[in-house]
């Protein structure tokens, strides 16, 4: 706990992260952003030849798609919705009165059609389903988005608004599990290139409640999720900086993603936690980028 506080404090003192008064909501300095940009270019060099279709969605998604995704069944504790004032002039008067006397002014806010994106790939599946059947070669997509998760923490590696770079693969079981394995190998290689020691381990998502325990156990037993772990705030509990998820045909069935021959597509996604990777670099090589090992600087900036 002390370690966490002090790394966060040092990040604030150095200006790399900017305190907003909210745990897990930080501004970032130009230097911090430069590290993320450099690492994303490294991702491009590893993944560039695969011919993924790049798409960028904003950090909010269509609420109807979010509802259909089943996110509220699995992770209600993490979700964030966008609400707005939709009232009359009279309602406005009482809103301001409410704020004036320090009462809860948010009660009158109404849900909009937008929710905050929980993972970069969520807006993709309905988008691709709308196109019709996938070609024989399947689909490969390159995504990056700010994501929201309501998990306030003093651990700088657990933020509420953070960026996820993802590759998503759609195709046959063999096709998408090969894709996932390739990125596990690449992940290890990339982190080695920037001087980070990693381990890969089987993992599970934080499914809510008692029924969630079973889902989590099932996910583990079937090796559906792996994480690439790097010690950041704790050596005993290293942080997931990448995840490798195989959804079987669950998303294919849910969204109606079919292959050319009419069979349901299997899907897999590989996610990079960009802030976490930057934090791992600062933690291991120091807060002054100029002092980083030459090999690391070369891998990032050529």
Task: Give how many residues touch ligand ATP by CB under 6 A.
Answer: 18
* Of the residues 242, 259, 289, 299, which one makes contact with ligand ATP according to CB under 6 A: 242
Contact 171, 138 (CB under 8 A): yes
* Bridge partners, residue 240, by sequence: 229
Name the residue among 269, 49, 108 with its Cα closest to residue 180.
Answer: 269
Query: Which residue has 């950041």 as its token pair?
Result: 232
* Of the residues 11, 229, 232, 240, which one makes contact with ligand ATP according to CB under 6 A: 240
Tokens coding 106: 């948010």
Contact 202, 220 (CB under 8 A): yes
Binding mask 97-136 for ligand ATP (x = CB under 6 A): ----------------------x-----------------
Tokens coding 243: 């995840």
Question: According to the binding rule CB under 6 A, does residue 241 interact with ligand ATP?
Answer: yes
Tokens coding 3: 């370690």
Nearer to Mg ion, 117 or 243 (CB): 243
Nearer to ligand ATP, 52 or 259 (CB): 52
Q: Tell me the C-alpha to C-alpha distance, in Å, between residue 256 and each of 27, 56, 105, 129.
A: 39, 22, 41, 6
Question: According to the binding rule CB under 6 A, does residue 164 interact with ligand ATP?
Answer: yes
Tokens coding 288: 């002054």
CA dist., res. 152 & res. 161, Å (int): 10
CA dist., res. 207 & res. 292, Å (int): 38
Nearer to ligand ATP, 38 or 147 (CB): 147
Interface positions with Zn ion (CB under 5 A): 119, 121, 269
Task: Find which of Mg ion, Zn ion, ligand ATP, none residue 229 binds, CB within 5 to 8 Å per kind.
Answer: none
Tokens coding 41: 């270019």
The window from 107-115, 154-162, 186-194, 291-299 that contacts ligand ATP (CB under 6 A) reads: 154-162
* Of the residues 138, 271, 280, 283, which one makes contact with ligand ATP according to CB under 6 A: 271
Interacting residues toward ligand ATP by CB under 6 A: 119, 149, 151, 158-159, 162, 164, 203, 205, 227, 240-243, 271, 273, 275-276
């Amino acid at each position: 706990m002390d370690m966490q506080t002090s790394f966060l404090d040092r990040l604030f003192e150095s200006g790399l992260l900017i305190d907003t008064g909210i745990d897990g909501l930080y501004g970032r300095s130009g230097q911090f952003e430069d590290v993320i940009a450099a690492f994303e270019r490294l991702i491009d060099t590893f993944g560039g030849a695969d011919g993924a279709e790049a798409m960028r969605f904003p950090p909010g998604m269509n609420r109807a798609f979010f509802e259909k995704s089943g996110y509220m069944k699995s992770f209600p504790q993490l979700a964030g919705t966008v609400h707005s004032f939709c009232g009359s002039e009279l309602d406005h008067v009482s809103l301001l009165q409410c704020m004036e006397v320090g009462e809860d002014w948010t009660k009158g806010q109404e849900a909009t059609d937008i929710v905050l994106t929980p993972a970069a790939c969520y807006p993709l599946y309905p988008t691709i389903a709308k196109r019709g059947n996938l070609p024989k070669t399947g689909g490969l997509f390159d995504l990056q988005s700010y994501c929201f998760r309501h998990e306030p923490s003093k651990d700088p590696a657990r933020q509420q608004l953070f960026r996820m770079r993802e590759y998503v693969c759609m195709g046959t079981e063999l096709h998408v599990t090969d894709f996932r394995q390739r990125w596990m190998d690449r992940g290890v290689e990339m982190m080695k290139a920037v001087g980070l020691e990693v381990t890969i381990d089987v993992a599970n998502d934080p499914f809510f409640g008692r029924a969630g325990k079973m889902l989590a156990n099932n996910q583990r037993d079937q090796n559906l999720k792996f994480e690439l772990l790097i010690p950041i705030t704790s050596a005993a509990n290293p942080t997931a900086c990448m995840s490798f998820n195989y959804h079987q045909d669950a998303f294919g069935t849910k969204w109606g993603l079919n292959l050319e021959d009419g069979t349901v597509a299997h899907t897999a996604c590989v996610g990079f936690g960009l802030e976490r990777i930057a934090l791992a670099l600062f933690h291991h090589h120091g807060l002054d980028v100029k002092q980083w090992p030459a090999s690391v600087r070369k891998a990032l900036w050529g």
